[in-house]
């Protein structure tokens, strides 16, 4: 064993590739999504947009946050829909991979004892106390809850909310969009889901930095990760 600790193979190639495709997709979908949102920066709850359904009006997002930088709805839509396809294909491949490779069952679903240790895990996260040695080789319970809820709740919600905004998709089984409270409510859910993803990414990047930026980045590029002693 080297003096700096044991090195393990942590992330297999498909996971690494899909992770970075995801990074590109999320950045572009967010920027182009804000561009689209700027065309009508208000949110409603219901089927349509009227005073009675209005819930939030926002100022336009600044040009540095949007794709393209200037106000250009048509081009924002072109970017958004191309990367939406890529994002959905990549996400579906990831879900299939996690299920059939055993990654989901083996690494992501928390065990009974991990569930029981959730209180301690919350305290450890608040104190920025991170696991070492063998304990660090497995994702911790909060990490897994975050991953699972993003993959199986928030991402499906953002995709369905996006589809609900398509008038043609709404016609496929007329009225299905009412399950989400109507088209404008689905638009609001799409926006809320995007905000949750931004929050997830911020926490994710924060944890990546405080638990060893170089080590973590290297493991998502080469697959190899040094276990903290």
Partner 1 sequence: MKSKPYFEQRRDRRKLLRAALVGLASGTLAGCDAVTQNDTAVEVLRSAESLTRNVQRAIGRRAMAQEFAPADAAPAFRANGTTNPAGDAYAKLAASEFAEWRLKVDGLVQKPLELSLAQLREMPSRSQTTRHDCVEGWSCIGQWKGVRLSHLLGMAQLRPEAKYIVFHCLDQMEEDDEDSVYYESIDLDDAFHEQTILAYELNGKPLPVANGAPLRARIERQLGYKQPKYLRRIEAVSDFASIAGGKGGYWEDQGYNWYGGI
- Residue ranges binding partner 1 (CB under 8 A): 27-28, 31, 36-37, 39-40, 42, 44, 47-50, 64-65, 67-69, 72-75, 77-79, 81-82, 84-85, 165-175, 177, 183-184, 187, 213-214, 217
The Cα–Cα gap between 225 and 136 comes to 11
What token pair was written down for 71?
């106000």
Residue 55 backbone phi and psi in degrees, to 5? -120, -25
Whether the CA torsion 105, 107, 109, 115 is positive or negative: it is: positive
Distance of closest approach, residue 145 Cβ to partner 1, in angstroms: 27
Given the complex with partner 1, which of 104 and 201 has the nearer CB atom?
201
Distance of closest approach, residue 138 Cβ to partner 1, in angstroms: 26
DSSP annotation of 38 reads: T
Distance of closest approach, residue 75 Cβ to partner 1, in angstroms: 6
Given the complex with partner 1, which of 122 and 199 has the nearer CB atom?
199
Distance of closest approach, residue 174 Cβ to partner 1, in angstroms: 4
Given the complex with partner 1, which of 48 and 135 has the nearer CB atom?
48
Given the complex with partner 1, which of 47 and 145 has the nearer CB atom?
47
Given the complex with partner 1, which of 26 and 227 has the nearer CB atom?
26
**205 preceded by a cis bond (ω within 30 of 0):** no
The residue length of the chain stands at 229
Distance of closest approach, residue 187 Cβ to partner 1, in angstroms: 7
* Strand ranges inside the chain, DSSP E: 7-9, 42-44, 54-57, 224-226
Q: Which helix (H) or strand (E) holds 111?
A: none
């Amino acid at each position: 064993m080297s003096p700096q600790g044991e090195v393990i193979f942590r992330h297999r190639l498909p996971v690494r590739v899909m992770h970075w495709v995801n990074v590109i997709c999320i950045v572009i979908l967010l920027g182009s999504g804000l561009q689209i949102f700027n065309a009508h920066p208000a949110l409603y709850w219901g089927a349509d947009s009227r005073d009675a359904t209005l819930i939030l009006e926002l100022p336009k997002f600044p040009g540095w946050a949007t794709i393209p930088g200037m106000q250009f709805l048509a081009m924002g839509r072109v970017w958004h829909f191309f990367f939406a396809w890529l994002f959905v294909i990549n996400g579906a491949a990831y879900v299939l991979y996690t299920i059939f490779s055993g990654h989901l069952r083996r690494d992501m679903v928390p065990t009974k004892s991990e569930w029981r240790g959730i209180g301690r895990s919350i305290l450890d996260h608040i104190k920025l106390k991170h696991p070492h040695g063998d304990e660090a080789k497995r994702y911790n319970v909060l990490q897994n809850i975050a991953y699972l809820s993003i993959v199986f709740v928030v991402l499906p919600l953002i995709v369905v909310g996006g589809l609900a905004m398509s008038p043609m998709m709404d016609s496929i089984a007329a009225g299905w969009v009412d399950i989400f409270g109507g088209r404008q409510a689905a638009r609001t859910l799409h926006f809320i889901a995007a905000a949750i993803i931004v929050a997830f990414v911020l926490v994710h990047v924060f944890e990546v930095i405080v638990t060893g930026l170089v080590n973590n980045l290297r493991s998502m590029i080469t697959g190899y990760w040094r276990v903290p002693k």
